[in-house]
Chain A
Amino acid sequence: MAQAIRKKPLSKTVNAAVSARIVAQDHFRTLRLGTPFQPRIDALAKTQDWYNWAGYRAPNSLWNEELEYFAIRSQAAVFDISPMTKYRIEGPDAEAFLDRVTLRDVAKLRPGRVHYTAWCDDEGFVLDDGTLFRLSPTRFRLCSQERHLPWLLDSAIGFDVSVAEETEAVAGLALQGPTSFAVLRDAGFAGVEKLKIFDLADLPHDGGTVGISRTGFTGDLGYELFVPADRALSLWDRLMTAGQLRGIRAIGYTALNRARLEAGLIVANADFTTAEHAIRADRLRLPDEIGLGFMIDLQKGHFNGRRAILEARAKRKLRHVLVGLEIDGNIPAEHAIVYHKKSQEVGLVSAAMWSPMAKRNIAIASLARPYGDTMVEDLWVEIYAMRELQHQKLMKRAKVVARPFIKLDRRTANPPADF
């Protein structure tokens, strides 16, 4: 016993770092965190229909998933995007670093602009897609579905740049729909009318600023707002007050997911499997295989995966293609198998719906080349529609069509309209 006391491991002077660490222990009691907007969302959550978004308690719906969709297309919908992974990338070499990591030419991304991009591992397989915000000449924010800190830090070796994860510190809101501009203007965000699509500005809010960009995930007129977590609630209240006469509604993911599908946008780990999560090696995807080939800029210098992508293109080793499909009838073909000549299996639908805006039965599918690429005739999907405990098996013709499935002029109109 005497020996045990002498060897006592608990150090007497617990330093600040250790006590901060110990304070953080109790996270195990809350497996699904609330976002900074949670008090407001909880108050509106009539359906209590939650899902787990990266460890956060996020709503599938708040009052009615179908009506929430129409709020996006007719009024202004507020969707909490705080759980999205966010990295702050800063330093004299930030541009060069991001040029090296991502597919697009970051030199072309001016301060105050946003672009949709993707990044690959050394074999050219897509690690994730996301949006890159250029906040200043030397400061960026990268938003993504999955987490990439080790990849970013390892890639930063040799660059004068710092990379910090700021998911919890920064709250995010998407404000989408025809009246979204009017809401922001009525809320007093002077200058927001100058924002063209993919523009970004810091505007005053609650003694600080809010970063507002004309971006979104709906294919509609819309904005995304980023604010320090401690000013999240005042931002919410400001929007809701201003939006009262503009039909503003908070929505859940199901409605947003419909809007994004109409816009032809893909979701990581829903429409493709990200490289760091693909356990089966044949699930890995090159950018060209998931419709992101347009991002690749071969004029810029070296970027991660460049060599592999070039080789795959040269040797015609691209095995898959991601396409938009228009399917006969009105039954959604979610996760249906795609056939050639009704017999040969050539791919899988990853997302599907009846589009209220296009009045067409649409889908996103991954096909094995050459199907969907050079062979686009005679494609079919086999839909198993469960109706009162019976599968109604349908074989429906599918046509490869361009994405987005809908194009709304109000999305890009300048100046933005009131509705």
Chain B
Amino acid sequence: MARQIGLCHAKFRAFGNRSRKNEERVAREDWAKMKAWDAIIIGGGHNGLVNACYLQRAGLDVLVIEKNDWVGGAATSRELTPGFLYSNCSYVCSLFRPEIMRDLELPRFGLQVISYEGGAVFTRDGDYLANYRDHDAHRREFARFSKRDAEAYDRYARDVTRQCRFIQPLLMRTAPDPTSLRPRDLGELLYLGKKFAGLSAPEMALTLRFWTMSISEFLDEYFETDVIKANFALSGIIGTALGPMSPGTAYVLLHHYMGEVDGSVGAWGYARGGMGAVTKALAASFKASGGTIRTGAEVDHVLVGRGKAKGVVLAGGEEIFGKLVVSNADVKRTFLKLVEEKELPDVFLRRVRNFKIRGSSGKVNIALDSLPEFPALPKDSPVYRGDMHFTDSMERMERAYDDWKAGRWSADPFLDMVIPTTLDPTMAPPGKHFMSCFVQYAPPRIAGAEWTDADRDGFAESVISQIAEYSPGFRDRIVHMEVRTPREIEAEVGLTEGNIFQGELTFDQLLFNRPVPGYAQYRSPVGGLYMCGSSTHPGGGVMGAPGRNAAAEILRDLAKSTSHMSAAHDVI
């Protein structure tokens, strides 16, 4: 089908003006038969929905097309076994921009984010290192391992906070095109330059180091204790096909620190009702403003005529027309699967192909008939209500990455494990629990071959056996389990290679280089085809900023008002 469209296009072009008129006539007839939407959004993930909401509220007639029977993309809550709601892809919330929550009235549509308490790394000597919300408890906890590191935390927190404050205002702005002389781009470049020039010399140095260093080296500047470094390093590798010793991972840590829960910067929380509560509220907001969602409809390709997007064709062949098309899918899926290659410039295509979007993680989601016990952890510890980890050294973390390089899942994986039901009573019956395990590393292919069911089971076993080592009897509490390797995440969620960020957050793929130099402003080489997913600036996580920023660009192109869109909150 895609090929035919391409041929048609070539033919029309060959016939010149007369053919163009024909094409227009054909299109007019189609539109007469069928409604032409003002905008079609491919994919009902959180960014697609954010984008749709803003466009609909600007007065456009917007259709969201979602391949699954439910919306949400990677932010879903699914009842996979009776009585248990699974946050089965993303599982914690911090990055979602409060400006968007407010603009789209998400609290009115049921969104509540509950800050959680901290967490811990279990150590192999039977102890643990906890992170407590209370500043002094946090210091005393670190002092159990190193008095020096306990007192180093303030400087570390200061430096990371400074960097976050530098980045934060950039999240809700379109990245400037450094090659453009348009006043807007010059203005944005000037803004960036001014912000950078506003830094002191040591801060500038730190900024450049932060954007390029490994998290391991960065942490060496502050801490001496291995488990304390491992405790912080985890934020530098999550969702990234890099190890803690790979350059670029320090920035990934920053990405996980620049969120907030209601003004508590860097805090993480649970969306009440699971991460699906975010997209459920978005969908409700969208519908309340008159938007239309069509689920169970997979887009086969984007209809392109004369270099301009005209609509989409569904897997069953149904054509839906729209004045513009916005893809929430990642940049590879959008341009390597949904658009005919010949519609795209060579360099752009090559860069899309080379865009790093490598699968590195999986999920094991578990329904438990009781709260697991960890003998190392006192029964009244707040850690049960936080994130738990078992990787207590930088070397173990790096070794886990070695397995990924060899095309294996990590024999000793890194887990980010949470039990949201300790704070959210809506996700499981009383006394029962939902546990989410984010697991790293899981390669996109196993030794060059596709994942098999046996591989998936082996991957799951590596996770369960690790938990069971610290929690005797853990297996007996399992009621139901869902295992998602990159294979399942790609097939079910639609993320290429199961990459949770729709592309790695390394400096070469950020700002005006995300996803492709020259196309960082949500537009594409195809007229009327926009991108709004996490492949675009400012990147992944359930943030909503790409969807919002893309809407701002689209409305600018349509010369429509953006007065319903809040500017980024001031960082004072």
Q: What residues of chain A have their CB less than 8 Å away from a CB belonging to chain B?
A: 1, 3-4, 7-11, 14, 18, 21-22, 24-29, 31-32, 52, 54-55, 123, 146-150, 153, 165, 276-279, 281
Contacts and interface: CB of A to CB of B under 8 A. Distances in A.
Nearest to B199: A281
B569 interface: no
Interface stretch (B122-130, B400-408, B428-436): B122-130
Interface in B82-132: 124-128, 130, 132
B469 A281 contact: no
Nearest to A3: B465
B275 to A, nearest CB: 28
B-side interface mostly: helix
A277 B124 contact: no
Nearest to B129: A21
A18 B144 contact: no
Interface string B193-208: 0000001101100000
Nearest to A163: B148
A279 B161 contact: yes
Contact of B140 (A8, A9, A55): A55
Contacts of B132: 28
B381 interface: yes
Contacts of A28: 130, 132, 137, 141, 378, 381-382
B126 A22 contact: yes
A165 B142 CA distance: 14
Interface stretch (B152-160, B280-288, B325-333, B521-529): B152-160
B470 A9 contact: yes
Contacts of A276: 154-155, 158
A279 B165 contact: yes
A237 to B, nearest CB: 29
A146 B158 CA distance: 14
B173 interface: no
Contacts of A10: 124-126, 376
5 nearest A-B pairs in the assembled complex, by CB-CB distance: A55-B136, A9-B124, A149-B151, A147-B151, A150-B152
A8 B375 CA distance: 13
Given A3-B465, A29-B380, A31-B136, A279 B126 contact: no
Contacts of A123: 202
Given A10-B124, A147-B151, A21 B158 contact: no
Given A28-B381, A55-B139, A281 B124 contact: no
B145 A21 contact: yes
Given A21-B144, A28-B381, A153-B148, A281 B158 contact: no
B126 A11 contact: yes
Given A1-B475, A4-B469, A21-B127, A277 B154 contact: yes
5 contacts: A10-B376, A18-B126, A31-B134, A54-B136, A149-B147
Nearest to A7: B469
Nearest to A22: B127
A325 B378 CA distance: 54
B136 A149 contact: no
Contacts of B469: 4, 7-9
Contacts of B147: 149, 165
Contacts of B200: 281
A278 B158 CA distance: 7
B468 interface: yes
Contacts of A11: 124-126
B162 interface: yes
A240 B551 CA distance: 72
B154 A149 contact: no
Contact of B125 (A1, A14, A147, A153): A14
A18 B125 contact: yes
B399 to A, nearest CB: 14
A27 B148 contact: no
Given A1-B475, A7-B465, A279 B158 contact: yes
A136 to B, nearest CB: 23
B469 to A, nearest CB: 5
Interface string B401-428: 0000000000000000000000000000
Contacts of B127: 18, 21-22, 25
B467 to A, nearest CB: 9
Contacts of B150: 147, 149
A148 B151 contact: yes
Contacts of A22: 126-127
Nearest to B202: A123
Contacts of A148: 151
A29 B383 CA distance: 12
Contacts of A147: 139, 150-151, 154
B154 A281 contact: no
A7 B148 CA distance: 32
A9 to B, nearest CB: 4
Given A14-B125, A149-B148, A27 B158 contact: no
A404 to B, nearest CB: 31
A24 B142 CA distance: 11
Nearest to A85: B151
B203 A281 contact: yes
